[in-house]
């Protein structure tokens, strides 16, 4: 009696079975080469979305593939569970952030289990667990000991009424978004991690990451932004003896062409330079204006180049010329030295500035064999060339002159070679509750005192009230804040800031290697065995921050002697977004599919417009809830669709038809086995030992061609969509099985069916396990060896075909024995000898005798 494909039933059955048998438990002592497969862990926001389904389905295909391929697999899952949404939910719904977070974890874990992902749940970690975050604190203290964690004043937006720091986005027209008080700029002490110490190594390491997408490496290199050049000192005229302005330049070869100097508005020397000068007021007003503009638009967005003369001059160390000093809005205090020697003839930005303010231009580099007049220039000449107006360096190539000029500066003590990075130290202080407390204590007598190791973890206090004041919530909790100084025993106070949650995610992959370890962040030998992560999968949005911080942490932990690897992630796959078209009603805005009925808005009855395909998001109302899809079609269809619809690194467009199609295919696979259960029953799979030919050989060959293609697509290219297509083709061919299904035929058929189930199992594991069991297999599929391709089976017999043109033999072609008319005709037309006789003539008729002859009738 035929049975029906019932995903709900079989999926639950196999999920229970995998759990019961501990199918995915990792063990460092297990057989085979280790393979650490990891997907970026999620923030427990409440319910999973399609982006999660896609990300974790991609990971699961690889996990199951590598496991079946004989590797000793580690495939863990956890929760990036500190962060702002929990705190917002706490305020809005009056629920404690911990409660909210753990409830979310619970429901998302269940959703993951319903999708049949192959995680070792025994290794689950949550970063908000004190047993986890105590090690953040421990690392912090290790870094503090080594000078890698330090406190620095930096300027922030401060609301004097709310007594809190405001992010740039919280300042509206220079006023606090909450209380509308005028915002002040305030210097605040913040904790920083010295990632800049590792800038060079992080940059060089990019060259070793040969299995990362080039795009991500480019972004990391750019973020680190290494520039090679020189620092040059320009003594201030009439300054205090040895006052000088130091610039960073990548173009020392242009030193003879400097005609003014530009300082950042925040440059510390500005105050002294303008003191008592006529320009003082104007400069102050300018600086104030720039500050406001940047607040409003952001530093990056300010387009117009503006500046003001300070009234001061400095001296060019090479030429002795007096150079006017300006303050300019485009010079950034955070880069280089915050001062730029301006060369309008060879730097476009300086050129525009000079034109605006009528400053002189002096050409010092010209294209070889050409003259250049400063007055007639329409843009700066930024290319290489020959030095002119540059004293002893005239006539040299400018690249060569760089070395000579820097040597000269170094010998005179007025400059030196220097490297500058765009990368800044990582500010980790957050005025938030739901994060890892920074483990330091402030004592009036002793200053900053680290919390002693034995007192870790510093646990977040549970009872907390979120006032609307926006004050760092921990500051209000006396029982937390008030503490005895570990050094002198006197009254002291704790740090009230918590850490940036990116600290939590910078080492979680190490914790998975020994997640229940209590005396160390992780066991050294376990970490050494499993690390590095062999394949890491996540969104492109983490291309810089998370991936850079995790690399930084790994290097620091290596230097502390905790791990051996230099890099945490060997191979990286960044998956694309899940998208769907948006629907809009002219009156009611974005509509979800449920709010539309036959092209009309359910609310107002107006006709709706179907818009562009965009990333699924709640605000655009174009999301699809995974639960509904799983409910209706099962987890296997849901997984299969997200894997089939696009290659992983591309964006995926949601399509209801596509989901239907995936479901239909799985049903077809079900019927293939079900309809043929008698044939398949008492027969062993063909193993190729005793040869076969003709149709059987063809089908046997197809099985192995499919094995080869699917294996390569999964492993080498990660192109799951084409792997799935190949399996579909094989299933189609099996539906069209010709002739008998008994004896040897049945064996070849069975080999093909078994192979389909193996190959499909990483994508649709539940269905395949069930059918595998129905084939009478005693070993579950996940423990079955991935099928190997027999090269022997791929060989196709070749035959020679005689090609005639108008009945006369003109050529002989070697083609596959099973080649059809179309294929032979194509091959024949490419043959030189045949071409010679056909030329431009039209083919009127083709006579084809398979394996023997083709006659092309032309005229
Ligand atoms: C003189 C000069 C002449 C420059 C010339 C360029 C071309 P990258 O390559 O990005 O490192 N610069 C230095 N510090 C700056 C700051 N704080 N804000 C804005 N600009 C700054 O850029 C280095 C160049 O950017 C430096 O070389 C300096 O201008 C400018 F024909 O010095 B150059
Ligand atoms: Zn003290």
CATH assignment, 226-421: 3.90.740.10
Count how many residues are written for the chain.
Answer: 859
List the structure tokens of 582: 């948006």
For 523, residues 6+ apart whose C-beta sits below 8 A from its C-beta are 513, 514, 517
Q: Given this model, what pLDDT does residue 285 score?
A: 95
Q: Report whether pLDDT(241) > 70.
A: no
Q: Report whether pLDDT(23) > 60.
A: yes
Per-residue model confidence as pLDDT tens digits over 373-405:
998 999 999 999 999 999 999 999 999 999 999
Give the closest residue to 547 by CA, choosing from 38, 34, 81, 26: 38
Per-residue model confidence as pLDDT tens digits over 681-711:
989 999 887 778 788 988 999 999 999 999 9
Confidence of residue 182 (pLDDT cuts 50, 70, 90): confident
Q: How far is the CA of 339 from the centre of ligand 1 (A)?
A: 9
C-alpha–C-alpha distance, residues 54 and 74, integer Å: 20
Q: Given this model, what pLDDT does residue 327 score?
A: 97
Contact between 115 and 57 (Cβ < 8 Å): yes
List the structure tokens of 638: 């849901």
Helix (H, G, I), strand (E, B) or coil at 129: coil
Q: Given this model, what pLDDT does residue 799 score?
A: 81
CB-based pocket (< 6 A), ligand 1 = 227, 248-251, 254, 264, 331-332, 335-336, 338, 340-341, 343, 346-347, 420
C-alpha–C-alpha distance, residues 747 and 680, integer Å: 8
Helix (H, G, I), strand (E, B) or coil at 443: strand
Which value, in Å, is the radius of gyration of the alpha carbons in the chain?
35
* Tokens 């970063």, located at residue: 127
More confident residue, 175 or 75: 75
C-alpha–C-alpha distance, residues 669 and 28, integer Å: 36
Please give the angle made by the CA atoms of 409, 261 and 423, to the nearest 5 degrees. 75
Confidence of residue 527 (pLDDT cuts 50, 70, 90): very high
Confidence of residue 567 (pLDDT cuts 50, 70, 90): very high
Can you say whether the dihedral through the CA atoms of 9, 15, 17, 20 is positive or negative? negative
The CATH number of domain 798-858 is 3.40.50.300: no
Q: Given this model, what pLDDT does residue 168 score?
A: 61
Domain boundaries, the chain: 136-194+425-501, 226-421, 676-794, 798-858
Mutate to test the pocket of ligand 1, among 336, 338, 339, 424 (most ligand atoms within 8 A of CB): 336
List the structure tokens of 99: 């409660």
Contact between 858 and 843 (Cβ < 8 Å): yes
Can you say whether the dihedral through the CA atoms of 319, 324, 328, 333 is positive or negative? positive
The mean predicted confidence, pLDDT, of the chain is 92
Ligand 2 ion: Cβ-proximal residues, 5 Å cutoff: 443, 445-446, 485, 487-488, 490
Please give the full DSSP string across 812-830, using - where no structure is assigned. EEEEETT--HHHHHHHHHH
**CATH superfamily label, 676-794:** Isoleucyl-tRNA Synthetase; Domain 1 (1.10.730.10)
Task: Measure the N-to-C terminal CA separation of the chain; round to a whole number of Å.
Answer: 60
Helix (H, G, I), strand (E, B) or coil at 437: strand
More confident residue, 833 or 139: 139
Atom of ligand 1 nearest to the CA of 250: 27
Count the neighbouring beta carbons within 10 Å of the beta carbon of residue 844.
10
5-13 mean pLDDT = 97
Confidence of residue 300 (pLDDT cuts 50, 70, 90): low
Please give the full DSSP string across 573-594, using - where no structure is assigned. EEE--EEEEEEEETTTEE--GG
Q: Report whether pLDDT(645) > 80.
A: yes
Q: Given this model, what pLDDT does residue 18 score?
A: 97
- Report which listed range, 61-70, 582-591, 807-816, is most confident: 61-70
Q: How far is the CA of 381 from the centre of ligand 1 (A)?
A: 15
Give the closest residue to 269 by CA, choosing from 339, 168, 354: 339
Confidence of residue 540 (pLDDT cuts 50, 70, 90): confident
Q: Given this model, what pLDDT does residue 424 score?
A: 87
Q: Given this model, what pLDDT does residue 825 score?
A: 92
591-601 mean pLDDT = 88
Mutate to test the pocket of ligand 1, among 249, 259, 354, 365 (most ligand atoms within 8 A of CB): 249
Q: Given this model, what pLDDT does residue 181 score?
A: 85
Please give the angle made by the CA atoms of 834, 838 and 839, to the nearest 5 degrees. 115
Find the ligand nearest to 330 CA: 1
461-470 mean pLDDT = 73
Smallest CA separation from ligand 1 atom 12, residue: 340
Helix (H, G, I), strand (E, B) or coil at 315: strand
Q: Given this model, what pLDDT does residue 338 score?
A: 94
More confident residue, 177 or 658: 658
């Amino acid at each position: 009696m035929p049975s029906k494909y019932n995903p709900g039933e079989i999926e639950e059955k196999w999920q229970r079975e995998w759990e019961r048998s501990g199918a995915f438990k990792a063990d460092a002592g297990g057989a085979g080469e280790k393979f650490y497969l990891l997907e970026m862990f999620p923030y427990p926001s409440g319910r999973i979305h399609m982006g999660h389904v896609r990300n974790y389905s991609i990971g699961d295909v690889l996990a199951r593939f590598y496991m079946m391929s004989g590797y000793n697999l580690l495939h863990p899952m956890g929760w990036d569970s500190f962060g702002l949404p929990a705190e917002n939910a706490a305020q809005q719904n009056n629920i404690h952030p911990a409660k909210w977070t753990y409830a979310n974890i619970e429901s998302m874990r269940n959703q993951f289990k319903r999708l049949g992902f192959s995680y070792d749940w025994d290794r689950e970690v949550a970063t908000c667990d004190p047993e986890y975050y105590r090690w953040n604190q421990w690392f912090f203290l290790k870094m503090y000991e080594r000078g890698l964690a330090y406190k620095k004043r930096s300027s922030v937006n401060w609301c004097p009424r709310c007594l809190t720091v405001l992010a740039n986005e919280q300042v509206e027209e220079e006023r606090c978004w909450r209380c509308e008080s005028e915002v002040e700029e305030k210097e605040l002490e913040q904790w920083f991690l010295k990632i800049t110490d590792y800038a060079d190594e992080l940059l060089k390491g990019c060259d070793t990451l040969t299995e990362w997408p080039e795009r991500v490496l480019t972004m990391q290199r750019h973020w680190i932004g290494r520039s090679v050049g020189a620092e040059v000192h320009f003594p201030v005229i009439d300054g205090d003896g040895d006052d000088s302005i130091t610039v960073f330049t990548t173009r020392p070869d242009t030193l003879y062409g400097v005609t003014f100097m530009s300082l950042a508005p925040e440059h510390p020397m500005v105050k002294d330079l303008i003191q008592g000068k006529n320009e003082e007021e104007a400069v102050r007003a300018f600086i104030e204006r720039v500050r406001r503009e940047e607040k409003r638009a952001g530093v990056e967005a300010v387009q117009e180049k503006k500046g003001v003369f300070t009234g001061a001059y400095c001296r060019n160390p090479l030429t002795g010329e007096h150079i006017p000093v300006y303050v300019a809005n485009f010079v950034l205090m955070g880069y280089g030295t915050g001062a730029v020697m301006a060369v309008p003839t060879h730097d476009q930005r300086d050129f525009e500035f000079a034109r605006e303010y009528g400053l002189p231009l002096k050409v010092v580099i010209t294209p070889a064999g050409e003259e250049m007049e400063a007055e007639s220039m329409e843009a700066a000449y930024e290319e290489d060339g020959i030095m002119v107006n540059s004293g002893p360096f005239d006539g040299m190539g400018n690249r060569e002159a760089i070395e000579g000029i820097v040597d000269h500066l170094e010998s005179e003590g007025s400059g030196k070679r220097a490297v500058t990075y765009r990368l800044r130290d990582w500010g980790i202080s957050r005025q938030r509750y739901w994060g890892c407390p920074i483990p330091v204590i402030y004592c009036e007598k002793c200053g900053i005192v680290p919390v002693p190791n034995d007192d870790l973890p510093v646990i977040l206090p549970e009872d907390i009230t979120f006032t609307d004041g926006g004050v760092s919530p921990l500051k209000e909790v006396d029982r937390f804040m008030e503490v005895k100084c570990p050094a002198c025993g006197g009254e002291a106070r704790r740090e009230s800031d918590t850490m940036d949650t990116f600290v939590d995610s910078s080492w979680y992959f190490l914790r998975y290697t020994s997640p229940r370890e209590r005396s160390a962040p992780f066991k050294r030998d376990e970490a050494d065995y499993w690390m590095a992560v062999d394949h890491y999968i996540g969104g492109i949005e983490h291309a810089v921050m998370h991936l850079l911080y995790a690399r930084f942490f790994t290097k620091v932990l290596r230097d502390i002697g905790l791990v051996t690897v230099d890099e945490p992630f060997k191979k990286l796959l960044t998956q694309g977004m899940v998208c769907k078209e948006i629907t809009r009603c002219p009156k009611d805005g974005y509509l979800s599919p449920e709010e539309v009925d036959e092209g009309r808005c359910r609310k107002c009855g107006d006709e709706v417009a179907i818009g562009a395909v965009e990333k699924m998001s709640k605000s655009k109302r174009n999301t699809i809830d995974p639960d509904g899809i799983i409910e209706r079609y099962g987890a296997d269809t849901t997984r299969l669709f997200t894997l089939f619809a696009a290659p992983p690194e591309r964006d995926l467009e949601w399509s209801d038809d596509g989901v239907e199609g995936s479901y239909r295919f799985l049903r077809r696979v079900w019927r293939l086995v079900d309809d043929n259960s008698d044939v398949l029953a008492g027969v062993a799979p063909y193993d190729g030992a005793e040869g076969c030919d003709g149709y059987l050989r063809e089908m046997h060959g197809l099985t192995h061609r499919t094995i080869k293609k699917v294996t390569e697509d999964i492993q080498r290219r990660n192109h799951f969509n084409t792997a799935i297509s190949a399996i579909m083709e094989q299933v189609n061919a099996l539906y069209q099985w010709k002739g008998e299904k008994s004896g040897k035929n049945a064996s070849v058929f069975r080999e093909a069916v078994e192979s389909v189930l193996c190959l499909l199992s990483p994508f649709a594991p539940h269905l395949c396990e069930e059918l595998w069991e129905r084939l009478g297999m005693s070993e579950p599929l996940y423990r079955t060896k991935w099928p190997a391709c027999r090269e022997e089976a791929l060989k196709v017999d070749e035959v020679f075909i005689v090609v005639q043109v108008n009945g006369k033999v003109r050529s002989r072609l070697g083609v596959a024995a099973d080649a059809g008319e179309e294929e032979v005709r194509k091959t024949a037309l490419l043959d030189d000898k045949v071409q010679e006789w056909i030329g431009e003539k039209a083919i009127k008729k083709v006579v084809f005798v398979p394996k023997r002859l083709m006659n092309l009738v032309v005229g």
